[in-house]
């Protein structure tokens, strides 16, 4: 599929897709005329990119995470040195998300308590 089709399929813009490519997050092939061509897996990749960016990951984080996410995990995962940085990023972001969830849960609980039966 071409860039416009992928943009429509993923709810993003061609400019965003070109940016993901510039950042090394998306790797389309090219036609003889230089047009970008994306395989069906690009829809999943773009969805993952958008989800992770919305979750607070940086583009730098995504460069290492996408490689890690593309690899099937064996039954007993033993990170190789090449994956260690990506794994560390994922663990840090997960910790940050859990902290944010705890903060938001506490805020929600306080607000619900203040509203009481008026809710």
Of the candidates 54, 76, 93, which is a domain's last residue? 54
Q: Are residues 62 and 102 in the same domain?
A: yes
What single-letter DSSP state applies at residue 104?
H
- How do residues 15-48 score in pLDDT, each as one tens digit? 999 999 999 999 999 999 999 999 999 999 999 9
Q: Are residues 61 and 49 in the same domain?
A: no
By C-alpha distance, which of 78, 74, 20, 72 is closest to 51?
20
pTM for the model: 0.67
Confidence category of residue 103, pLDDT binned at 50, 70, 90:
very high
Q: Check which CATH number belongs to the domain holding 38 and give it.
A: 1.10.1660.10
Residue 45 vs residues 109, 110, 118: alpha-carbon distances, Å: 36, 38, 44
* Count of structural domains within the chain: 2
Please give the biggest Cα pair distance in the chain.
67
Note the pLDDT of residue 96.
Answer: 87
- How do residues 70-95 score in pLDDT, each as one tens digit? 666 566 556 566 567 777 877 888 89
Note the pLDDT of residue 66.
Answer: 79
> CB of 20 within 8 A of CB of 46?
yes
Q: Are residues 65 and 111 in the same domain?
A: yes
Query: Which residue segment(s) compose the domain that 35 sits in?
Result: 1-54
Burial of 5 (0-12, 13-18, 19+ CB in 10 A): middle
């Amino acid at each position: 599929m071409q860039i416009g089709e992928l943009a429509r399929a993923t709810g993003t813009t061609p400019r965003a897709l070109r940016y993901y490519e510039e950042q090394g997050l998306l790797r389309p092939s090219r036609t003889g005329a230089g047009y970008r061509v994306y395989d069906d897996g690009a829809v999943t990749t773009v969805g993952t990119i958008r989800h992770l960016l919305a979750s607070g990951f940086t583009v730098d984080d995504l460069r290492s995470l996408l490689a890690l996410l593309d690899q099937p995990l064996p039954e007993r995962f033993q990170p190789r040195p090449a994956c260690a940085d990506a794994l560390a990023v994922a663990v840090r972001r997960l910790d940050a998300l859990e902290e944010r969830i705890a903060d938001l849960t506490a805020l929600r609980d306080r607000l619900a308590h203040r509203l009481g039966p008026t809710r």
